Chain A
Amino acid sequence: MLHEITLNINGEPYPVVVKSHYTLARVLREQLGLTGTKIGCENGECGACTVLLDGAPVNSCLVLAVEAEGHEIETVESLSRGGDLHPLQKAFIEHNAIQCGFCTPGMLMSSKALLARNPHPTEEEVREALVGNLCRCTGYVRIVDAVLDVGSPVLEAES
């Protein structure tokens, strides 16, 4: 069964025809070419496919594309505009919070949502917010440091 829908992604309307059983992750990557979002476990365990739906982090592998119609979708592609990296992206680079990079888009999106609702998180709160994002390279310490390092005024100015 086909659905003619419009997805609002990173502030832009994307008209697209999707099959009922296609997940948002699949449509983002395969139909819209937004391959920043990664597909890992496809089970809601790893968080590599995390995007924001109306500001809240979700596993895009557990959302049907047709369910996402009418909602605001933000992917990792939204972070850097016009070549300027987002403060979180800069902090990840400064802290070497990346090895293979596969988990990074999901980590960034979960972190962005955390800082939007809690600009000054404690280490515990950062770890809690990233429970659903698995990294098999860095051991999380540098990722947590990078998120803690991002100053809230920058994010507030952006939003």
Chain B
Amino acid sequence: MRPFDYYRPEVFEEAFRWLLLPEKKVLPLAGATDLIPMVRDGLWQPDVVVDIKGLPGMGDLVVTEEGLRVGAAVRMTELVHHPLVNSTPWNLLAQAAAAMGNEQIRNRATLGGNLCTASPAADSAPALLTLEAQALIRGPEGERRVPIASFFVGPRKTVLQKGELLVGVLIPALPEGTAGTYVKLSRRKAGDLAIVGVAALASPRNGGYEWRLALGAVAPTPIRAPEAEAALNAGHDAAAIERAMHCAFDACCPIDDVRASAAYRRAMVGRITQRAIEGVLERLS
């Protein structure tokens, strides 16, 4: 593995100093489960890595007036088991975290890392899209918030500018009676990346439900499927679910890769959407 220097700052000012080192390739390090294989394969060639796990607030998992705040360095295993995340409706995030990787990976991998790696197949992304989370970003100039829907700009690309760090996400509170599910199709039952991942969420509104759907691994970034949501908002009978499946099919633009062909992904996205919707309906009843 190509050598690099390692720093673990405890204050943001120092982290930004390292991140903005001139003429050096500097990468933030969180769980390292993506970074180490990428460096080993020569795809990333950092001169310096900055471990962000010692920075204030990075490990937070707290409820504020605005909702649930999850620090960027919170590990997947923590999300799976933490009582705050498991409480409805945020448990959609716990489901997504449980679907990711395997036990060893989840014990190291962080939510921030899963988002910043920005794989189109990131399991946490569809969940956070339907939860309408905000990305909390901090840079030398201050803090800014970006809706998760705008955070991803392409495969492995985010809105983060040089020197900026994702410090966490903020998940707004949702009405009581909200239910969500994450359904993942992969080559084996566990321990693989998604071929298709679908998050569905329904919140009580005006005597009916407001639906949100998000698709992973079937477009350059994880995406919402607004037409499919609209199809369900009028009522989620069998015909509406059928329409939502077709809308999800129309919303996706997958690629061929080692895990599945684009055609297979397209063929499956409707069915996985149906399963996610039915999963929500089971939880609502």
Contact = CB atoms under 8 A, between A and B. Distances in A.
Interface stretch (B2-10, B128-136, B197-205, B253-261): B2-10
B155 interface: no
B104 A47 contact: yes
Interface residues of A, number: 28
Interface of B: 1-6, 8, 29, 32-33, 36-37, 39-40, 49, 51, 53, 77, 101-105, 107-108, 190-191
Interface in A26-80: 42-44, 47, 50, 53, 56-59, 61-64, 66-67
B6 A21 contact: yes
A47 B102 contact: yes
B6 A59 contact: no
Contact of B3 (A21, A53, A129): A21
A1 B104 contact: no
B42 to A, nearest CB: 13
Interface in A123-159: 128-129, 131-132
A20 B190 contact: no
Nearest to B107: A56
A20 B5 contact: yes
Contacts of A56: 77, 107
B36 A132 contact: no
Contacts of B4: 1, 20-21
B221 to A, nearest CB: 24
Interface of A: 1, 3, 19-21, 23, 42-44, 47, 50, 53, 56-59, 61-64, 66-67, 110, 113, 128-129, 131-132
A5 to B, nearest CB: 11
A128 B102 CA distance: 8
A132 B102 contact: yes
A42 B36 CA distance: 9
A19 B3 contact: yes
Contacts of A131: 102-103, 190-191
Nearest to A41: B37
